[in-house]
């Protein structure tokens, strides 16, 4: 059964909240969350990330960062990371996630943190393309979970 999808980046203020907002907007039936391997609890999403998402009709202004934790590892079935280095870091800290962690895009998605607004626009485009690629698989998992629950 799929209990949800978790996006993980470094600080949980740029890429993962953008990915969370995107997937939640196109798949509202799935629980979606985000976290960071070095997140400072309670930090708001980067203003550029908020602006880019708002320009695309998605509000992430209420987002608050949270660190990746053992309880989050248990609460979500699928974990997406933004690049291979993050995958290695997550799996070295939480080996129980092996087989459940995927790189969102094969070529990775660069961190726009402290970059100009255009870097966030590009990041959004890359995340949106990757979410589009994964969406059919996630729909299939959600349908399987719904059948298993009944």
DSSP secondary structure letters along 44-76? BPPHHHHHHHHHTT---TT-B--B--HHHHHH-
State the chain's mean pLDDT as an integer: 94
pLDDT score, position 144: 66
pLDDT digits (tens, 9 = 90+) for 59-116: 999 999 999 999 999 999 999 999 999 999 999 999 999 999 999 999 999 999 999 9
C-alpha 79/C-alpha 99 separation (Å) is 10
From the centroid of its chain, how far is CA 13?
11
Name, in order, each residue with C-beta under 8 angstroms of 105's C-beta and a sequence gap of 6 or more: 82, 126, 127, 129, 130, 133
CB 4 within 8 A of CB 77: yes
Task: Please tell me the distance from the alpha carbon of residue 145 to that of residue 2, in angstroms, as a whole number.
Answer: 6
The residues, ordered by sequence, that sit 6+ positions from 125 with a Cβ below 8 Å of its Cβ are none
* Catalytic residue positions, numbered: 9, 15, 111
Nearest residue to 81 (alpha-carbon basis) of 7, 5, 30: 7
The alpha carbon of 15 is separated from its chain's Cα centroid by a whole number of angstroms, namely 7
Tell me the domains of the chain and their CATH numbers: 5-144 (3.40.50.2300)
- Give the predicted TM-score (pTM) of the model: 0.94
Helix H or strand E encompassing 133: helix 117-149
């Amino acid at each position: 059964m799929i209990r949800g999808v978790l996006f993980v980046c470094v600080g949980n203020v740029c890429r993962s909240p953008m990915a969370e907002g995107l997937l939640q907007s196109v798949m509202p039936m799935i629980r979606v969350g985000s976290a960071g391997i070095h997140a400072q609890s309670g930090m708001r999403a980067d203003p550029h990330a908020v602006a880019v998402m708002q320009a695309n009709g998605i509000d992430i202004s209420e987002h608050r960062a949270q660190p990746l934790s053992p309880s989050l590892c248990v609460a979500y079935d699928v974990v997406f990371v933004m690049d291979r280095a993050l995958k290695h870091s997550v799996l070295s800290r939480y080996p129980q996630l092996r087989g459940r962690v995927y790189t969102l895009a094969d070529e990775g998605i660069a961190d726009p943190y402290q970059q100009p607004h255009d870097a966030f626009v590009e990041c959004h485009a890359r995340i949106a393309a990757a979410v589009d690629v994964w969406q059919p698989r996630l729909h299939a998992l959600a349908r399987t979970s719904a059948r298993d629950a009944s």
